[in-house]
């Protein structure tokens, strides 16, 4: 009898776990946007579309990122450390947690002493948080042209609408 009573109490208790009165909160779908803006030192990682078959990818360029408020909303700019205008990474946050804009180079950007990268793209992506709590962007999409120079003579160019880019916190 005691065993049957214990079983009934357990079944009633388990049945109450799914009731509206005691449910644990669930995450919204989709999750709320990340409102933290990107600022600081990042690596711009460029992955050409798979169909391009460009060698040595991903291409990584260190950048300094600044986000700031303007009269039309928040904007982001990235430059190569030390300044200069070789890289143009000008983007808007059209809505919280999303970046859209230009990923271009004015001149070829060195990857190593003998390899260079040129970009002519527009891109977008969703902001996420790195493990240290800083904002970053992983696996954004960009459309346009990626040119890789594996030496001083060759230029390997691929145009596509499914290149990938990231701003990974350093």
Is residue 38 within 8 A of residue 167, CB to CB? The reply is: yes
Could you tell me how many residues make up the chain? 170
Is residue 41 within 8 A of residue 136, CB to CB? The reply is: no
State the pLDDT at residue 24: 54
Instruction: Give per-residue pLDDT as tens, 90-145.
Output: 999 999 999 999 999 999 999 999 999 999 999 999 999 998 889 999 999 999 99
> What class has domain 37-169?
mainly beta
pTM of the predicted structure, to 2 decimals: 0.80
How far is Cα 104 from Cα 20, in angstroms, rounded to an integer?
52
Task: Kindly write down the DSSP assignment for every residue of 72-91, as one continuous string.
Answer: TEEEEEEE-TT--SSEEEEE
- Mean pLDDT, the chain, integer: 85
Instruction: Give per-residue pLDDT as tens, 36-46.
Output: 999 999 999 99
How far is Cα 112 from Cα 107, in angstroms, rounded to an integer?
15
What does DSSP say about strands 156-169 and 116-129: parallel, antiparallel, or unpaired?
A: unpaired
Locate the domains of the chain by residue range: 37-169
Position 85 confidence tier, pLDDT thresholds 50, 70, 90: confident
């Amino acid at each position: 009898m005691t065993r049957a009573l214990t079983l009934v109490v357990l079944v009633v208790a388990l049945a109450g776990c799914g009731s509206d009165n005691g449910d644990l909160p669930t995450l919204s779908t989709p999750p709320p946007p990340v409102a933290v803006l990107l600022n600081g030192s990042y690596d711009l990682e460029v992955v050409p579309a798979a169909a391009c078959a460009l060698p040595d990818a991903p291409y990584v360029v260190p950048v300094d990122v600044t986000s700031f408020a303007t009269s039309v909303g928040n904007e982001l700019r990235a430059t190569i450390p030390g300044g200069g205008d070789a890289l143009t990474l000008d983007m808007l946050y059209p809505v919280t947690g999303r970046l859209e804009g230009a990923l271009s180079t004015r001149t070829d950007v060195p990857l190593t002493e003998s390899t260079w990268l040129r970009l002519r793209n527009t891109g977008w992506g969703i902001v996420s948080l790195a493990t240290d709590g800083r904002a970053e962007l992983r696996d954004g999409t960009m459309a346009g042209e990626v040119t890789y120079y594996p030496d001083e003579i060759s230029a390997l160019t691929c145009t596509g609408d499914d290149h990938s880019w990231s701003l990974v916190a350093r």
